[in-house]
Structure 1
Amino acid sequence: MLFLVRMDVKVPTHLSAAEFDAIKAREKTYAEQLQREGAWRHLWRVVGEYANYSVFDVPSNDELHRLLSGLPLFPFMTVHVTPLAKHPSAIQ
C-alpha cells in the first residue's frame, strides 16, 4: 500500500542544541535504513519549512504507524497521511 505522508517538525525549545542534534542524527540513520529496505520510497524537503513529503510502501496502516512512531523526531511532528491508489489514467 502506498501512502503520501507530510511531516512537519516543531523544534523543541526545551532541548539543548546538542540534544536536538543527537535526535536528528538518530532520525537520519533510521530514515536511511527504511529507504534501503524499500518502505520509505521517496523523501522530499518542503522548501522554506522544516517539513517533508514522503511516499511509503508498506503492507498496512498499522505498519505505517509503527514506522512513523519509531522516528526519533515523531514526538515533535505533526503528521498527515493520505492513502494512495493507482489512477486509471496513469501510464505507469
Structure 2
Amino acid sequence: MYQIIIENKLSSYENVHDKLSGNCHLKLHLSEKGQVNNIQIESGDGQICHRINDVIDEIGEFPMPLQPEVIEKLQMIRLTVRL
C-alpha cells in the first residue's frame, strides 16, 4: 500500500519515468500516527533514491490502521521502488 502511494506521487510528476529508470531499496520509519520519522536508503540508483526521498518528505504522513498490533508492525517498512 505505501509503495503504491509513493509510486503514484512519483508518477504525478511530468515525465518522471522518461528521465529516470532503476530502483531504490529503503527503510521507512513511521510514527504511530503515520508521520515519517526517518528514511534510510539501503541501496539503488542515487538519483532515483534522492527523488523518492523528496517524494516521501512531500507525502509526510501515511495512513495507519486503527489496531495497535498492526500499527506496531507497520512502523518500520522495507520498500523497493522501481521505475
Same-fold call, TM cutoff 0.5: no
Larger radius of gyration: 1
> How does the TM-score come out when normalised to structure 2?
0.29
> How does the TM-score come out when normalised to structure 1?
0.28
Q: Tell me which protein shows more helix as a share of its residues.
A: 2
